[in-house]
Chains A and B, each alone.
Chain A
Amino acid sequence: AQSVSQHNHHVILSEAASLELGCNYSYGGTVNLFWYVQYPGQHLQLLLKYFSGDPLVKGIKGFEAEFIKSKFSFNLRKPSVQWSDTAEYFCAVNRISGGYNKLIFGAGTRLAVHP
């Protein structure tokens, strides 16, 4: 079973629209959560991360994400998207398995922003 679920596989928005990408995970206990982004033709890079403390975390390029423990969710948001935000977005969760720390990714969401 998929341990990290991203609800939308494809999202199409116009510039200036607001964005929210859903992410849910199925692990109990302490988790570390990440959003990575892959721009066309580029390598994956970290957008933001949550380890502890304030559940609302801010990342690069105006992105933010909110950790809601009771809902096992870590949704990504941006108030106003730009054409340059066109990319694929991956939610990821750290999992301790067999004493090792492994990062498990969701299936990804392709975002297309039209001018």
Chain B
Amino acid sequence: DVKVTQSSRYLVKRTGEKVFLECVQDMDHENMFWYRQDPGLGLRLIYFSYDVKMKEKGDIPEGYSVSREKKERFSLILESASTNQTSMYLCASRSGTLRNTGELFFGEGSRLTVL
């Protein structure tokens, strides 16, 4: 069965802290994505990666960075957390080349609260 695992379901951090959100997929997928989900705004794409060590900015990359050192792992980094980054963060993966139009598989999400 397909599995996308996000390491932390709930996190509480303080303003200015560095935050790491980890995502691992066991499907050997080439493409991985980070979205944030906010009420009334749906899912917005932060960053995506189409291969190891490759990354591209999504629609709202400001304040975030990512790392993909291994195919199965895609990390989202908040260098200095701010209260407006309080949100639900969703990781997803997809097989094939970047022009693949196949299904995205999602993790269960990481709810981050920044105080």
Q: Which residues of A contact B (CB under 8 A)?
A: 4, 6, 9, 32, 34, 36, 42-46, 49, 51, 90, 92, 94, 96, 98-108
Contact = CB atoms under 8 A, between A and B. Distances in A.
Contacts of A4: 42
A1 to B, nearest CB: 12
Main SS class of interface, A:
strand
B108 A43 contact: yes
Contact of A90 (B40, B43, B50, B101): B43
B43 A105 contact: yes
A99 B92 CA distance: 20
A100 B48 contact: yes
Contacts of B106: 43-45
26 contacts: A6-B42, A9-B40, A36-B104, A44-B43, A44-B92, A44-B104, A45-B106, A46-B104, A49-B103, A51-B101, A96-B99, A98-B56, A99-B98, A100-B48, A100-B50, A100-B56, A101-B98, A101-B99, A103-B33, A104-B59, A105-B35, A105-B42, A106-B42, A107-B40, A107-B41, A108-B40
A90 B33 CA distance: 17
Interface residues of B, number: 26
A4 to B, nearest CB: 8
B40 A44 contact: no
Nearest to A9: B40
B52 interface: no
Contacts of B107: 43
B27 to A, nearest CB: 14
Interface string B102-114: 0110111100000
A90 B37 CA distance: 11
Interface of B: 4, 33, 35, 40-45, 48, 50, 56, 58-59, 90, 92, 98-101, 103-104, 106-109
Contacts of B42: 4, 6, 90, 105-108
